[in-house]
Amino acid sequence: MTSPATDSRPQLLQAASQDILWDVLVIGGGASGLGAALEAATRGYRTLLLEAHDYAKGTSSRSTKLVHGGVRYLAQGNVSLVREALHERGLLKKNAPHLVHDLGFLIAAYTWWSKPFYGIGLKMYDALAGKLNLKPSRLVGRDEALSLAPTLKKSGLSGGVLYFDGQFDDSRLAITLLRTFEDYSGVALNAAPVVGLTKSGGKISGATFRDSETGREYTVRARTVINATGVFVDSVRRMDDAKAKPMLSPSQGVHVVVDRRFLPGNSALMVPRTDDGRVLFAVPWHDHVVIGTTDTAVPEVSLEPRALPEEIEFILQTAAQYLDPAPTRADVRSVYVGLRPLVKAAEGSDTKALSRDHVIRISESGLLTLTGGKWTTYRRMGEDAVNRAAELAGLPPRLTLTPGLPLHGWSQADIADHWKVYGTDAASIQALEGAKTLLHPELPYSEAEVRWAARMEQARSVEDVLSRRLRALLLNARASGEAAPRTAALLAEELGKDATWQAEQVRAYRELAAGYMLPG
């Protein structure tokens, strides 16, 4: 066994379990939990965040990678949601320019009415963004459409409409929020599932959590508890009240990832109405293309949801209507699935017609549950939740700082693609041992990034590194599996683990990665 170089978990565990009264306890380390925790910490509230698995382990690492107002919500007439999301899009671009950038989206026109119809709608989208709009939408001719998206089918193409939205790296934003939270004296711990809630006089007074690595349990006290566990909020609500009726009607969104050659221009493609009335995107991301998504109601939630064969077929068939050459099953590098925490609608309603707005509910005992929403509005969700939590707990009222808060690593420097997500930290990582040694020839990531993930970003497993600190699992599941042994060896060096641990990590990761590949 190598002696641990930098394992900070003992200190984090000690900080998380200290016998103090926290102002705010946040359960859940995804978009909503991290947003709420950062909101609380920046207001000066003593804040603890507990995450059962890893930051952004669930839905928050499996989005369509867009910071957007939601063009389709505009079509549904939900103007207030779109306006709020466009406002938040503008703030996020200002607060994290190393993680968010503008991206052009082309709606290709193959019918005479497409350009005027979508052109008018997108002018309204621009107007709702107000002074935080990115760039104005405009009509483009056939030649420009083909220069923006050279693989578009040419037959019948008359041009299109180009509009602009934001793009980001979701789990890297989660890690950035974690680092920012820590910069503001917040304490966060992953691999720390909450196993029970404590009460005093019938009111929530804290929680018990388990350290997954030792099995030991700890009880913490808090003035207010925020349940921000995404699609798992109902399980925490049942810890509070065994008879709590389910809030959620979850649906899943499937994405396939293919090589960049299928969409080589600098723009994304947006299909505003597929054969079954949905929206489909093909989005350049980390030198690959993400195509999705679907919207399928699921009866129960899981940590590793799987795509249905018909969902894969739908995505590939729709892509084939627009792209030439079109990707086939053999071209798919990875398939990933995110679950949407949609708040229950009327019996028999269609999930794609539900609003994606966030909801706050407070139980009789004072448990505050925050769910719904999407990454784009994570900051507003956190602000709303902490406003209510502070009232509940009688905390001194303080104004929000997050609308203008630069996030950790803030940088406008033009850094090469995969290093850019680290912002000002990039130079420190590039100075580490292994910065010029690739983990795998088909992936852009270096050995130094594994060391950094262990030292500075609370990575505890090969999965934490290859799925969320780096995006190898989503870009190329097979190659990521081949990179697992070296990743495990580097982590073992950093965390002081032995050969048995390494072997188990590689086995578990390869089993996971197999679920992201299409069967032959």
Contact 258, 333 (CB under 8 A): yes
Question: To which residue do tokens 């928050």 refer?
Answer: 60
> Mean pLDDT across the stretch 365-370?
98
Residue 343 gets which letter from DSSP?
B
Question: CA-based angle 41:43:47, to the nearest 5?
Answer: 30
Question: How many whole angstroms separate alpha carbon 101 and alpha carbon 294?
Answer: 24
Q: Is 48 helix (H, G, I), strand (E, B) or coil?
A: strand
Distances 75 to 40, 276, 295 between C-alpha atoms, Å:
35, 15, 17
Contact 171, 153 (CB under 8 A): no
> Mean pLDDT across the stretch 309-336?
97
What is the maximum span of the chain, computed from C-alpha positions, in angstroms?
A: 71
What's the gap between Cα 228 and its chain centre?
14
Q: What pLDDT, on the 0 to 100 scale, is given for residue 76?
A: 76
Q: What pLDDT, on the 0 to 100 scale, is given for residue 351?
A: 52
- pLDDT above 70 as % of the chain: 96
Contact 291, 282 (CB under 8 A): yes
Question: How many whole angstroms separate alpha carbon 123 and alpha carbon 280?
Answer: 20
Is it the case that residue 10 has pLDDT exceeding 50? yes
Question: How many whole angstroms separate alpha carbon 464 and alpha carbon 82?
Answer: 33
Is it the case that residue 302 has pLDDT exceeding 90? yes
Q: What pLDDT, on the 0 to 100 scale, is given for residue 359?
A: 93
Q: What pLDDT, on the 0 to 100 scale, is given for residue 347?
A: 45
Q: What pLDDT, on the 0 to 100 scale, is given for residue 3?
A: 40
Q: Which two tokens stand for residue 203?
A: 């009111």
- pLDDT above 90 as % of the chain: 89
DSSP string, 409-476: T-------HHHHTTGGGHHHHHTSTTTTSBS-TTS--BHHHHHHHHHHS---SHHIIIIIIS-HHHH-
| Of 366, 368, 396, 393, residue with least CA distance to 382 | 368
Q: Who's near 187: CB < 8 A, 6+ residues apart?
A: 12, 15, 16, 47, 48, 49
> Mean pLDDT across the stretch 13-32?
98
Is it the case that residue 352 has pLDDT exceeding 80? no
- pLDDT band at residue 345 using 50, 70 and 90 as cut-offs: low
Domains along the sequence of the chain with CATH: 9-59+172-248+353-404 (3.50.50.60), 98-166+249-343 (3.30.9.10), 417-514 (1.10.8.870)
- Expressed in angstroms, the distance from the first to the final Cα of the chain is 39
Question: How many whole angstroms separate alpha carbon 22 and alpha carbon 134?
Answer: 40
Give pLDDT tens digits for 81-128: 899 999 999 999 999 999 999 999 999 999 999 999 999 999 999 999
Question: How many whole angstroms separate alpha carbon 24 and alpha carbon 29?
Answer: 14
For 141-148, which contacts have Cβ atoms below 8 Å and span 24 or more sequence positions? Answer: 145/106, 145/108, 145/109, 147/265, 148/104, 148/106, 148/265, 148/266, 148/267
Contact 454, 494 (CB under 8 A): yes
- pLDDT band at residue 1 using 50, 70 and 90 as cut-offs: very low
- pLDDT band at residue 70 using 50, 70 and 90 as cut-offs: confident
Give pLDDT tens digits for 425-465: 999 999 999 999 999 999 999 999 999 999 999 999 999 99
pTM of the entire predicted model: 0.96
Distances 388 to 24, 53, 356, 367, 397 between C-alpha atoms, Å:
12, 27, 20, 11, 10
- pLDDT band at residue 73 using 50, 70 and 90 as cut-offs: confident
| Of 389, 396, 394, 425, residue with least CA distance to 410 | 425
